[in-house]
A and B are shown apart, each in its own frame.
Chain A
């Protein structure tokens, strides 16, 4: 890279020098590189909003379910055909695509990796996140709230086609892994909403990167707005169709919003703090997250029927974050020492 290049190019070259020669030896599945920025506005804004949403709407109107009088035959068919699981799966592929576009764009400058291996890398990461969420949801979140699903009256529409199929497919596995919880206490939080919120925040995070490339001949702003619009629409549809078909109560949605918002940002900040490159910059956010956990945890515990389990889970979580912050300090310090040598 010539010395005359400045600005954005310069930074990227400065941090990952001389990778360009190794393009032919790129692995089958590329190891994802962390994008540069945590979008602080989204972080603070979504934390505040989801907390207020939980306190004002979710807990206050926790018995609210979608009124059957507002149903229509068209919407019944639409929520059946445009299955939330289908939407979620498609959206997950979309997010992996976005991450790949970003990755390839950055790595083009760094000179690593074909598109397909990058896509697989991110697909594996997203798959792992979704799997972990499912296990957490069945093993921790749902048991620590202990709410049964809304009463399945005559007008209940049941699950949409793909969701019903998938539920049957995993039911044996689920009953073996989580024997008691598999049949009851499935309402709060909505697993679909938790996963969709996480995917939504992933899309916001990647779309708001300062060097995210333009797509479809749009301007930079247009690209961002398109990504935000698609993400919001997918999120709204998943939440709406789960509420519409009486699979969940409003409380399930608000708790899903709170849980996913809080744990997404906590996880993201923990990841950034562990990075040698970004640790020093983002570690301070860990302390803010720790402070914010108390008001969040109080609402979780207040809404739950098994508050003792929430207290135990909170203790484990706070200790984990604390360990992350200590390890982060140590890693960044050791990285600096190595640079000095």
Chain B
């Protein structure tokens, strides 16, 4: 029986570890303060209900991260300590240790790469879940009522768990948000973090997943470009996930070449990036000067509206439902800011057309501003 319990525990541990790797990504990718709703650029035109939703979501995310970590620690102690009633006292200690672990990892993410911590955290969580499951399964096989013992030895466990996890969560995130106010990111901060913040601010999205983005790029953006031809593609960040970059650049270049009756010659990645940037800027300016282009923005309104307005000086139209067909993702590796709607299609795509530019100059300003920032921070690239 015990070997069966061990096997099950091993499976569950592996499973939780793998899951944790994907589940916890958003918490490590968010730079400091970003988990709090203020960073997500709330829309002043949004209703109270919508803003409240956003606040609640942020609270929920913060709480669940800390409660998950601390809970798994406590679960391990609770499961392990079952044979000796003395061991049960460890549960609350484990809770505190788990919370300290979560808080420290979260703070360390601000100053160093999230990747190692993310991996470390997943391993730890998977590993301790293994012990937790094994302990609890063993105890149920031996017909020992773990929770009964727990309730007797640590009667305040549930309340302690709640108060400590909520307190630590909002304490740590509050301090991080305060830090953000008094000491905003400077030159010393790696570009990776700056970019993450910058893009999270722009899109208002905190949790996006690499795998999904890649497949979306392959399956949606590329056919879209190939099908409708290309009016313009606005390229913003050129580092990061090169596979996506290649997909988009090749599709762009092929479509451009086809439109103009030219052959597409393959280039090196560096060339492609600079080509794309110059080309796109030229296209952007040309189309803007004609005043006839539309932008599909891949975001879920309404709270991003104000951001877009500020950043690009363009007035967003109300777009409640993007549907899946024209869903183009901005992720934090590569940003595809806009793909033009084919002329004549605008009426039909009414629900999908997002932002119509009013001020051409503002767009160029933003572009220049970004280039400036790029130059400033690219030296700090890992």
Contact = CB atoms under 8 A, between A and B. Distances in A.
Say whether A associates with B: yes
Interface of A: 3, 6-8, 10-11, 14-15, 36, 39-41, 44-45, 47-48, 51-52, 54-56, 59-60, 210, 276-277, 279-281, 284, 287-288, 290-292, 294-295, 298-299, 301-309, 311, 315, 318-319, 322, 329, 332-333, 335-337, 339-340
A287 B147 contact: no
B162 interface: yes
B324 A291 contact: no
B68 interface: yes
Given A10-B350, A295-B64, A307-B139, 12 more contacts: A6-B350, A10-B351, A55-B161, A210-B320, A295-B67, A295-B71, A308-B137, A319-B15, A335-B324, A336-B219, A340-B219, A340-B223
A21 to B, nearest CB: 20
B7 interface: no
Contacts of B320: 8, 11, 210
A8 to B, nearest CB: 8
Nearest to A337: B219
**Secondary structure type dominating chain A contacts:** helix
B84 interface: no
A278 B185 CA distance: 37
B150 interface: yes
B12 A292 contact: no
Contact of A7 (B63, B227, B318): B318
Interface residues of B, number: 64
Contact of A302 (B158, B166, B323, B350): B158
Contacts of A7: 318
Nearest to A13: B351
Contacts of B286: none
Contacts of B324: 276-277, 279-280, 332, 335-336, 339
B49 interface: yes
Given A305-B148, A307-B146, A339-B325, A48 B158 contact: no
Contacts of A40: 53, 56-57
A318 B139 CA distance: 21
A294 B67 contact: yes
Contacts of A14: 323, 351
**Secondary structure type dominating chain B contacts:** helix
Interface string B206-221: 0101001001000110
A287 B23 contact: yes
Contact of B22 (A59, A287, A307, A309): A287
A36 B75 CA distance: 38
Interface of B: 8, 12, 15, 19, 22-24, 49, 52-53, 56-57, 59-61, 63-65, 67-68, 71-72, 74-75, 133, 136-137, 139-141, 145-148, 150-151, 156-159, 161-162, 165-166, 207, 209, 212, 215, 219-220, 223, 227, 300, 318, 320-321, 323-325, 327, 347-348, 350-351
Which has the most chain A C-beta neighbours within 10 Å: B56, B137, B157, B158?
Answer: B158
A201 B24 CA distance: 28
Contacts of B61: 288
A336 B136 contact: no
A322 B145 contact: no
Nearest to B95: A298
A47 B165 CA distance: 15
Given A287-B22, A294-B68, A333-B215, A48 B63 contact: yes
Contact of A311 (B133, B159, B223): B133
8 contacts: A15-B321, A40-B56, A48-B59, A55-B161, A279-B324, A302-B150, A333-B219, A339-B324
Which has the most chain B C-beta neighbours within 10 Å: A52, A210, A276?
Answer: A52
Closest 10 CB pairs of A and B: A308-B140, A55-B162, A295-B67, A41-B53, A44-B56, A44-B60, A59-B158, A55-B158, A307-B147, A40-B53
A308 B142 CA distance: 10
A307 B140 contact: yes
A55 B160 CA distance: 9
A154 to B, nearest CB: 29
B27 to A, nearest CB: 9
B62 to A, nearest CB: 10
B88 to A, nearest CB: 12
Contacts of B56: 40-41, 44-45, 48
A51 B67 CA distance: 11
Contacts of A307: 136, 139-140, 145-147
Nearest to B51: A41
A306 B60 contact: no
Contacts of A281: 300
Given A44-B60, A292-B64, A305-B148, A311 B136 contact: yes
Contacts of B165: 295
A11 B215 CA distance: 26
Contacts of B318: 7
Contacts of A339: 324-325
Contacts of A39: 53
B60 A311 contact: no
Contacts of B19: 290, 318, 322
